[in-house]
Structure 1
């Protein structure tokens, strides 16, 4: 068998790949830039604000109430909730079998106590 000696290297595919990589790098670099218009923003003294604290109210399917991890009676829940700041975020975790009435009572109770930041936690169902 006769082996042929290679006298050159074809660089066209290498140049094509490098141009594609350069195009991707330049395109993504424009999106990384923070602002598209050059603006010299004024400076100001800003007060640091604490992030709101989060507490959890859980309603189980047996209608048992928990605040964070502690079980709470229906009669003492108002006193327990008043220990939190009105600026704190309240996350309600309610079992899906809990009656809407129980959830509405809890939200009404939080509203009466002055909590305005209340969310109902749900699970993401896009994968199902």
Structure 2
């Protein structure tokens, strides 16, 4: 039997590159978010360059999400009470959500003196 003095690393590198491609692809989909929203369109929407702060989303089923975690309005109020007035809030609302649900969230923001608010919409391309 022939003895190998060296290890062939080429197959190992091939496998690692395939795994890296899978991880990068998966990370891209995870970054885009798990909450499915059909955002309203706006002609004069500005591009947000800095999305720091907390994210609140309301999906088509009127479920509220705080930083990707499903919460009810009462729990959202408790979470918002822990934030400082300078905390930026980014609000994503599905275009099919009734206006009163939107107003409920805005009212909770105002009650907790969170006025640094960005509402996300799709711009025309």
Pair in the same fold by TM > 0.5: yes
Give RMSD over aligned pairs. Answer: 1.9
TM-score, scaled to structure 2 = 0.55
Partner Cα separation in structure 2 for residue 74 and residue 104 of structure 1: 11
Q: Secondary structure of the equivalent of 2:74?
A: coil
Partner Cα separation in structure 2 for residue 74 and residue 52 of structure 1: 23
TM-score, scaled to structure 1 = 0.54
Unaligned ranges ≥5, structure 1: 1-50
Task: Provide the aligned length of Structure 1 versus Structure 2.
Answer: 76
Higher relative contact order (CA 8 A, sep 6+): 2
Structure 1 counterpart of 2:102: 103
* 2:84 counterpart of 1:85: yes
Q: Deviations over 1:10-66 (max 9, x none)?
A: xxxxxxxxxxxxxxxxxxxxxxxxxxxxxxxxxxxxxxxxx9941110001101011
What stretches of structure 1 move > 6 A for 4+ residues in a row? none
Structure 2 counterpart of 1:21: none
Structure 1 counterpart of 2:60: 61
Alignment CA distance shift 1:109-1:119 (3 Å)? same
Partner Cα separation in structure 1 for residue 105 and residue 115 of structure 2: 13
- 1:78 to partner: Cα distance: 0.9
